[in-house]
Amino acid sequence: MKRVLVTGGAGFIGSHLCERLLARGDEVLCVDNFFTSRRRNIAHLFGNPGFEFMRHDITWPLYVEVDRIYNLACPASPVHYQFDPVQTTKTNVHGAINMLGLAKRLKVRILQASTSEVYGDPAQHPQTESYWGNVNPIGPRACYDSETEILTEDGWVPFPSLRQDTAVATLTEAGEIEYHVPDEVISYPYIGELLRFANSKYDFTVTPNHRMYVRSKTGKLRFLRADEDRHWPAWKVPTGADFRGGEIEWFELGPPPRDAKVQVDRIRMDDWLEFLGYYISEGCVHVRQRVREVNGRDYDVRDFNVLIAQAEGDSRDRMIACLDRLGFKFFTSDDHQLRICSKQLAEILAPFGKAGDKYIPRDFLGLSRRQSMILLDALILGDGSRRGDGVCYWTKSGRLADDVQELALRCGYAASKSLTPGRDIYRVNLRPPVEANLVEPERIRYAGKVYCVDVKNHVICVRRHGRAAFCGNCYDEGKRCAETLFFDYHRQHNLEIRVIRIFNTYGPRMHPNDGRVVSNFIVQALKGEPITLYGTGSQTRSFCYVDDLVTGMIAMMDQDELVGPVNLGNPGEFTILELATMVKELTSSKSEIVFQPLPQDDPVRRRPDITLAKTTFGWEPTIPLRDGLVRTVAFFRELLAAG
């Protein structure tokens, strides 16, 4: 019998580990601060004479006497560890140092529960322990100031307003844009020095350890820390990218009014985009109310007019040619207006509002470059001017200026937005996407929150003061740092360590709001809500039941041959659609499986190679996914019934 310390013992995995150790006769000291765990996970253990609980934060030293240490203390799911990223890093690093110090003093064996996240975005499938991962660690979290915005599937969003579930624009090595939901959204208080790289084409204000994404004179793209001693004008930053989108053949207007003299069900999308560009720049809806006498009776009548200010010359001819193709009757007037009398069209266009309220609907900001160019050219014909390779667009609407800047990026331009001094007019400057030379950074004092995301591809599109360009993102390196500390103590102090890397695990006592796919699907199914999938659901994942994982953890701790790291997970792969279908069946749910139309998250594929665990201490999972889901569904059913 041993006295065993389990940090994070009230968590999902930790509580199951405490149970198993007690069942085999060990005494257990469970330490937890309930940062993300729950007392109910261990409530049934308090009557066991071999169980002791201590509420403690391991970022502070702990003085106890034990024979073994399992270090599981750390928020595990993105929803939890993004809530307070500074505390997450403290738990991983300071907590590891404190637990290693305790193990060194007591001369006892210690196991570190690391994670498959250390492999980053793996290029190797399945991942073996010898694989170093596909990451570029930079130490403490590197972030932007509070005035920086990020380009998302919903347009430009200030970092302080960014939601965890919003997909952001990321840049691939091939220069293409992909939208991905961040693994983590980071924000924390910061007092100190920031570095500002700014000119008319970009504006980055970042922490000194931030990763600048730059191209050298030799043409190679790489990441450099912002505080490196470099001749920065020799390095360039990307200001444009290749956005991909789909082609749509028709724009559906919906059923026309029954009394409409001209009824149009749909318009070719190319023609609609051109017309929409003219309308957004130069158009408005006017409804004239009047009284009309018919057979001696007065009737209130409303005339619906769509008006577009007409230019002279070639511009006027292009607008008229476009209106001819739409199928609606229109009239020209001496006051330089084109007038379409159509209630159907007026009702579609009225929500665009007046000049200061105009915008581009999101449906038209995901099209191919060819169709995007049709819309952009029509906008410029209305309220823009060209000079050489550059274009200026003018508008009273700040929202429209944001949309035009995004549209220009999608069309292959570099673009910046500004407010004209002394006038309530926004200007969007478009230029060829030539990479811009950096300037030497300005050092500024800052006190406030800083922000970033941890997302696939690691390069994001950001904007500050209207100037858009591409720069690096943040990595969560806490677990990697903890692993490094464990092996340093092993080499320097001959400390007995064991390191495991945990892959996707599920089972009873998962938190219902932890953001993981298994808990999400089960809760949605039991509540009768739509089961939401991103993309086609063909992405594959591996799921290990918690009992199998705990068996592997104890076996790893007890064996004397291997230090680690060792992968613990289930190598079986299932598509997300297969998982959703199985959950729906096991819950007898009538929930609909919904495929989200938003840009695909394309989560990282991680599948463990467990050959080392099998050959060294004979461990492999034994509980099939269906059996594990039956037990997990029963847990969530009881949890939801209890409120």
Tokens 């049934």 belong to residue: 44
pTM of the entire predicted model? 0.56
**What pLDDT shows up at residue 483?**
76
**What pLDDT shows up at residue 530?**
92
Cα separation of 17 and 20, whole Å? 5
Read off the pLDDT of residues 238-265 as tens digits, 9 standing for 90 and up. Answer: 999 999 899 999 999 888 777 666 678 8
Tokens, residue 464: 């500050």
Tokens 């030379």 belong to residue: 437
**What pLDDT shows up at residue 139?**
36
Same fold? 3-134+477-641, 149-241+441-472: no
**What pLDDT shows up at residue 466?**
96
CB-count burial class (<10 Å; 0-12, 13-18, 19+) for 76: buried
Architecture of domain 149-241+441-472: Beta Complex (2.170)
Long-range Cβ contacts of 413-422 (<8 Å, 24+ apart)? 413/240, 414/201, 414/239, 414/240, 414/468, 414/469, 415/468, 416/200, 416/201, 416/466, 416/467, 416/468, 417/463, 417/466, 417/467, 418/465, 418/466, 419/466
**What pLDDT shows up at residue 161?**
94
Between the alpha carbon of residue 195 and those of residues 238, 281, 476, the distances in Å are 19, 38, 21
**What pLDDT shows up at residue 480?**
59
**What pLDDT shows up at residue 93?**
75
H/E run at residue 532? strand 531-534
Which amino acid is located at 146 in the chain?
A: S
Read off the pLDDT of residues 48-92 as tens digits, 9 standing for 90 and up. Answer: 999 999 999 888 899 999 999 999 987 554 444 444 444 556 667
Query: Which CATH superfamily, name and number, covers 3-134+477-641?
Result: NAD(P)-binding Rossmann-like Domain (3.40.50.720)
Poorest-confidence range of 44-58, 118-132, 305-319? 118-132
- Domain extent listing, the chain: 3-134+477-641, 149-241+441-472, 250-357, 364-431
Which CATH number does 364-431 carry?
Answer: 3.10.28.10
Read off the pLDDT of residues 535-585 as tens digits, 9 standing for 90 and up. Answer: 788 888 889 999 999 999 999 999 998 998 899 999 998 989 999 999 999
Cα separation of 583 and 517, whole Å? 11
| CATH 3.10.28 corresponds to the domain 250-357 | yes
> Residues 88-106, buried b or exposed e (16+ Cβ, 10 A)?
bbbbbbbbbbbbbebbeeb
Question: What percentage of the chain exceeds 70 in pLDDT?
Answer: 88
Cα separation of 249 and 410, whole Å? 19
State the pairing for strand pair 426-431/414-419.
antiparallel
